[in-house]
Amino acid sequence: AVPLLVSCGEQATTIAVDPAVGRACFDSHIAALPAGTQYEGIEHAVPGRLTIRVMTGVELTTLECALSTDGSLEGGGQ
């Protein structure tokens, strides 16, 4: 017998995002981050949502920002 893999639900489609949008997402969160936090890059992007990686000095973590349909930040971030 051959196993059959079935996926439930829709899979989010990854989209290409301008690297400057990732940096703008980071900048929109900077006031709430510990001093010295560094932007590491884009983790992934799907329609309507961008996830970036940041290093807080202690750990690598992710932050999210909403994306407009044109690929820009929506409302300056989340």
pLDDT digits (tens, 9 = 90+) for 10-55: 556 778 899 999 999 999 999 999 999 999 999 999 999 999 999 9
Q: What residues form DSSP beta bridges with 44?
A: 51
**What pTM did the predictor assign?**
0.78
Mean pLDDT of the 1-11 span: 54
Distances (CA, A) of 66 to 3, 4, 22: 38, 36, 11
- In the chain, the N- to C-terminal Cα span, in Å, equals 48
- CB burial of 39-66 (b: ≥16 within 10 Å; e: otherwise) equals beebbebeeeebebbbeeeeeeeebebe
